[in-house]
Chain A
Amino acid sequence: MADIAMATGFILILIGIFGALTNRNMLRMIVGFVIASTGVNLVMVAVGYMRGRTAPILDDAVPVADAVTRIIDPLPQALVLTAIVIGLGVTALMLAFTYRLFVTKGTLDISKFRELKW
């Protein structure tokens, strides 16, 4: 199960990077980045998974006493929660900057923006 999730994550990273590098339209590049970051999150969650264990939430099904042997690693999950939120903030920023660039040049084609090119 974790193998499939991890493989999916790696494939999503590759798809996202491919999309971000080959597309010239900035909106499509942003979609590529979002797909790649989803893949990274998926890989991180898959790394924390352990066979036969359950989510790190203690209740009647998982008593406190045998939590150590019954739950999966909570740290990757906390890390991914942070990563998702930051990823959303970065995406919103990219969209706002894309809007400003569109207003200045009237195009979304990244190859038309040559000011910082050397």
Chain B
Amino acid sequence: MVRHLFVLLLLTALGTLFFALQAGFSPDSELNQVGRYYASHTAQDLGAANIVTAIIVTYRGLDTLGEVTVLFLASTIIGMVLSKGMQKGGKVSDLPPAGELLSTGSRLLVPLILLLGCYVFINGHLTPGGGFQGGAILASAALMLLLADPLRPFNSRFIAVVESTSGLLYVVIGVLGIFVAGGFLDNRILPLGSYGTIFSAGAIPIIYTLIGLKVGAEFSSMLLKLSKTEER
């Protein structure tokens, strides 16, 4: 009970703090200096219609590379932590069947979900969306397959190849930027194209496609590892 009292005290203090923050908050009436720079320069400098994408892939591209690295590390550590519990395969399953609705529905929906994921990350520089969202959608297709048949054999070697190839190409494109354009991960190694079309914004669609494939492969392999782990 004493512990709950401390928790309540802490929450009251935090709540007071939050209330003061909220009461004293007045939204900006115009963009701050950094925001104004991005708003006015993104279109002619980088050619991307989605300013958030331009910030993530180019202006703060190094941070995104770090973010992808963090995800890679998380997926690797999950593999390491769970590796002892991995099933060796070939075990006869005594799971009940998934049911007609789920197994037929997954056959119908998985290609469409994969298509939607690819659409989301290829159009990341024009519409809301991008590599991380598209990758998550790709992984949801893998999740659906796993739900329909938890013991389905996945080609995890293919997933690993996709992941490492796209990660490597991402860094290669970044290094190309040093030699061909203004710096590491500069998107102007390719012509900017006509503004607002799919072949625009230089290397941003390519980088975001690579990020999407990598994130999708990482999330899928995380799901696979979590699903294949079983206590014996």
Contacts and interface: CB of A to CB of B under 8 A. Distances in A.
Interface string B219-232: 10010011001010
Chain B at the A interface: SS class: helix
A75 B74 contact: no
Contacts of A74: 35, 38-39, 51-52, 55
A31 interface: no
Interface in A20-47: 21-22, 47
Nearest to A69: B30
Interface in A40-84: 47, 49-51, 55-59, 64, 67-69, 71, 73-75, 77-78, 81-82, 84
A78 B54 CA distance: 9
Given A2-B27, A71-B39, A82-B63, A57 B56 contact: no
Interface residues of B, number: 62
Interface string A78-114: 1001101110111011011101100100000000000
Interface residues of A, number: 46
Contacts of B63: 82
Of the candidates A18, A84, A92, the one having the most CB atoms from chain B within 10 angstroms of its own CB is A92
Interface of B: 4, 7, 10-11, 14-15, 18-19, 21-22, 25, 27-32, 34-36, 38-40, 42-44, 49-52, 55-56, 60, 63-64, 67, 70-71, 73-75, 77-78, 81-82, 84-85, 126-128, 130, 132, 136, 195-196, 215, 219, 222, 225-226, 229, 231
